[in-house]
């Protein structure tokens, strides 16, 4: 077994929590990658992180390729291990970092899928506003599109997270970072309709969560995905649409309407603007389309 594995991992976990302000999901992902690498080292009779060489790293990457992991997954695993070894080096727990000379696999730039305005309008009209769950579903869809928040952020909303007077929501995002996002009139009105019937899900409810399931408990990520899937099937479009597609649609529509990239970055809760820049590729396609339709010599 790897020597001092517990000591190293405990110290690294503290580093992720305190200095990197990483979420528990991110920390779990890091340790899944580190533990998988540790098992590989033990199979190679390597029992200390200090004994790992560049050659061992290359062997591990070859194994991942052999197991047909995607480039994106390999890149993520490599990033986790690179961060771990950089931490060990900073703490003087090893002399050389075998990951310094390893390059990250090049990833193909996949443009995020988004919905056109008529498609999103049709989707938002599908829930049955005469039923309690339909009113809830319409409200969730409106909030997702109006705010661009992630599903995990949506289900973590409490009643106190929403200010209907100012039309804003306090979102608890990745890395335990909070941000305020505007909701817009459609989402606000939809929320008011939902809040009028919310208690009917369970008259004795004490749940502080904003969005509830049929039993009056906080809705889960998976439940939101099932709700979106239900209405996507009713919409009967050929493209693949997920809750995250509404986030992409939010960003795309803002940029197409003239919003600046920094504002969209702030609204999405992206740490780096490079993450937001992928949407400029979509808006460039839109600009080209408008040019081709409008210019007499296009």
Where does the pLDDT of residue 33 fall: very low under 50, low under 70, confident under 90, or very high at 90 and above?
A: very high
Task: Return the residue matching tokens 């609204």.
Answer: 267
Domains of the chain by range and CATH? 5-90 (1.10.150.130), 117-294 (1.10.443.10)
CA 272 to chain centre: 14
Tell me the pLDDT tens digit for each residue of 193-213.
999 998 887 777 778 999 999
Mean pLDDT of 253-269: 88
Q: Which of 84, 93, 71 is nearest to 31 (CA)?
A: 84
Rounded to an integer, what distance in angstroms lies between the CA atom of residue 264 and that of residue 298? 30
Contact 213, 142 (CB under 8 A): no
Rounded to an integer, what distance in angstroms lies between the CA atom of residue 144 and that of residue 138? 10
- Strands of the sheet containing 178-182, edge to edge, are 162-163, 168-172, 178-182
Rounded to an integer, what distance in angstroms lies between the CA atom of residue 10 and that of residue 154? 31
Tell me the pLDDT tens digit for each residue of 275-291.
888 877 777 777 777 77
Contact 71, 106 (CB under 8 A): yes
Residue 256: CB atoms within 10 A of its CB come to: 17
Mean pLDDT of 77-92: 90
Which of 50-59, 72-81, 173-182 shows the lowest mean pLDDT across its residues?
A: 173-182
Tell me the pLDDT tens digit for each residue of 121-179.
999 999 998 999 999 999 999 999 999 999 999 999 999 999 999 999 999 887 678 89
Given a cut of 60, is residue 271 above it in pLDDT? yes
The chain-wide mean pLDDT, for the chain, equals 87
Sign of the four-CA dihedral 15, 18, 22, 25: positive
Rounded to an integer, what distance in angstroms lies between the CA atom of residue 155 and that of residue 208? 11
What is the token pair recorded at 46? 């390597």
pLDDT value at residue 13? 87
Rounded to an integer, what distance in angstroms lies between the CA atom of residue 208 and that of residue 257? 36
CA 36 to chain centre: 23
Just list the catalytic residues.
Answer: 150, 174, 244, 247, 270, 279
Contact 34, 80 (CB under 8 A): yes
Given a cut of 90, is residue 226 above it in pLDDT? yes
Give the C-alpha distances (Å, rounded to integers) separating 113 from 50, 73, 154, 239, 240: 44, 20, 20, 8, 8
pTM score of the predicted model: 0.67
Mean pLDDT of 83-111: 81
Given a cut of 80, is residue 34 above it in pLDDT? yes
């Amino acid at each position: 077994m790897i020597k001092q594995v517990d000591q190293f991992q405990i110290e690294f976990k503290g580093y992720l929590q305190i200095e990197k302000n990483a979420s528990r999901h991110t920390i779990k992902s890091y340790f899944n990658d580190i533990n998988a690498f540790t098992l590989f080292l033990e199979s190679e009779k390597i029992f200390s992180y200090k004994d790992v060489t560049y050659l061992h790293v290359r062997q591990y990457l070859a194994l991942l390729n052999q197991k047909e992991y995607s480039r994106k997954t390999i890149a993520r695993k490599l990033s986790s291990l690179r961060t771990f070894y950089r931490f060990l080096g900073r703490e003087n727990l090893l002399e050389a970092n075998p990951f310094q000379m390893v390059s990250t696999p090049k990833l193909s730039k996949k443009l995020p899928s988004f919905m056109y305005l008529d498609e999103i309008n049709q989707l938002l009209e599908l829930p049955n506003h005469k039923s309690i769950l339909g009113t809830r579903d319409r409200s969730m869809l409106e909030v997702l599109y109006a705010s661009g928040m992630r599903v995990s952020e949506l289900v973590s909303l409490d009643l106190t997270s929403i200010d209907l007077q100012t039309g804003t929501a306090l979102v608890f995002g990745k890395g335990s970072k909070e941000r305020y996002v505007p909701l817009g009139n459609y989402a606000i009105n939809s929320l008011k309709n939902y809040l009028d019937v919310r208690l009917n899900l369970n008259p004795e409810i004490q749940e502080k969560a904003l969005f509830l399931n049929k039993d009056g408990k906080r809705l889960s990520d998976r439940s939101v995905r099932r709700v979106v899937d239900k209405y996507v099937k009713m919409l009967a479009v050929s493209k693949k649409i997920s809750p995250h597609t509404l986030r992409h649609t939010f960003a795309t529509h803002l940029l197409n309407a003239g919003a600046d990239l920094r504002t969209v970055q702030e609204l999405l809760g992206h740490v780096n603007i490079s993450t937001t820049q992928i949407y400029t590729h979509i808006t460039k396609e839109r600009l080209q389309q408008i040019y081709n339709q409008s210019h007499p010599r296009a």
